[in-house]
Amino acid sequence: MNVHGKPTRTIWPHPSDPGIIQIIDQRALPHEWVVEDLASVADVATAIRDMHVRGAGLIGATVGFGMYLAAREVSDDVTGFLTRAGDLLKSTRPTAVNLAWAVDRQLRAIAEHPGDPVATALRTAIEIADEDADACRRIGEHGLALIEKIAASKNGAPVEILTHCNAGWLAFVDFGSATAPIYAAHDRGIPVHVWVDETRPRSQGAKLTAWELGQHGVPHTLIADNTGGHLMQHGMVDLVIVGTDRTTRTGDVANKIGTYLKALAAHDNGVPFYVALPSSSFDWKMRDGLKEIPIEERGSEEVKFADGLCDGRRCEVLVAPASTPAANFGFDVTPARLVTGLISERGVCGATESEILALYPEQA
Ligand code: MRU
């Protein structure tokens, strides 16, 4: 994606120091552009847990590079050290399956090429990042066909798309999942307009999705989280596209808290509800999302405080009474029956086990 007019990824090895991986510290956006150096597996664990980086695909890519930094720290007992490093990384955020997927992929690659774990881990980390970017580019191509079809019936009026949280470029290595079809349509001159859910408590929509759509020149409007149902009742949404942190082989979708309510509203109003995901976000072992997907609970201060710019400086303000107890469930599960379709790098399919496996027969 273009940032300040220049093609940019969300994670990259330092150009001259092989001991450093660079990320964008997303906590500072949209007000400041901060590039952070990660020099150890401990730095990577902190960056993921405290959400300097976030979003399923980017967490997976960051873990890939984290295992490379871990491999540089090994002195003896390579397998034991890297397994412990992987366990540390897996413990940082429980819902996004990309995290465990990337750790296990690194451990397998290093076990298969034990001669030079550092070189193997770097090569694998770069592969994970490149594959993530390529998968998102292809999601864009497949999702574009859906937008083109709607555009054909709109007599030149913009296709109205609602999205939740940030499943954009910032949640992946490039392009994003939910945003990739939107960027593809915009780049081809199809008029689109995006309703951006604010996404409390961390406001990934307000801070990140609004910023990145703006950087790319895509028309958009920020809305408070509870607005989507009203817009759908009044015919102001043609299509919902969201991302996912983990989707079962039966099509149940875990995504940022509030996604389920959007899916219910879409169902009630006959609005198509699509989920965009690379195959690294499928959990091939799980069948029942409600029972099996672990839902992350974060600190209550994220709900009680809001943050932004005060007199030109970043600051936090207490919104609720200081003593009020607050609960902070990070994700919810949208049952497959409410999902119109899944957009993956292999194409668009229904959210059923048979249709998913028709695209991914190797998982049968
Ligand atoms: O808590 P986050 O910001 O890491 O959560 C990310 C999301 O839930 C997004 O909604 C996204 O759709 C999934 S990541 C592509």
- CA proximity to 72, closest of 27, 33, 17: 17
- Confidence at 258, pLDDT banded by 50, 70, 90: very high
Give every CB contact of residue 316 below 8 A, 6+ residues apart in sequence: 305, 306, 307
pLDDT of residue 6 exceeding 90: no
Contacts of 84 (CB under 8 A, 6+ apart): none
Measured distance CA(117)–CA(97) in Å, rounded = 24
What is the Å distance from ligand 1's center to 78 Cα?
A: 32
Asked whether the predicted pLDDT for residue 4 surpasses 90, the reply is no
Q: Is 225 a catalytic residue?
A: no
Number of domains in the chain: 2
Residue 158 and residue 99: Cα distance in Å, rounded? 36
Query: pTM value?
Result: 0.97
pLDDT band at 265 (very low <50, low <70, confident <90, very high): very high
At 28, phi and psi to the nearest 5? -85, -20
For residue 259, the ligand 1 atom closest to its alpha carbon is 10
Whether residues 66 and 194 share a domain: the answer is: no
Residue 70 and residue 53 in one domain: yes
One domain for residues 289 and 319: yes
Q: Do 151 and 278 fall within a single domain?
A: yes
CATH of the domain at 242: 3.40.50.10470
- Look at residues 104, 131, 158 and tell me which one is the last residue of a structural domain: 131
| β-bridge partners, 101 | none
pLDDT at residue 1 in the model:
80
In 3-state terms, the chain is what percent helix, strand and coil (to 5)? 45, 20, 35
Q: Give the model confidence (pLDDT) of 199-226 as tens digits.
A: 999 999 999 999 999 999 999 999 999 9
- Phi and psi angles of residue 20, each rounded to the nearest 5 degrees, phi first: -130, 135
Give the model confidence (pLDDT) of 277-323 as tens digits.
999 999 999 999 999 999 999 999 999 999 999 999 999 999 999 99
Instruction: Based on DSSP, count helices (H) and strands (E) in the chain, helices before strands.
Output: 13, 18
If asked whether residues 47 and 178 sit together in one domain, one would say: no
Phi/psi region, residue 270 (left: phi>0; alpha: psi -120 to 50; beta: rest), is left
Q: Which domain holds residue 293?
A: 140-363
221 & 95 share domain: no
The last residue of one of the domains, among 96, 131, 166, is 131
Pocket residues: Cβ below 6 A from ligand 1: 54-57, 165-167, 171, 177, 204, 242-245, 255-256, 330
97 HSE (CA, 13 A, CB side) = 24
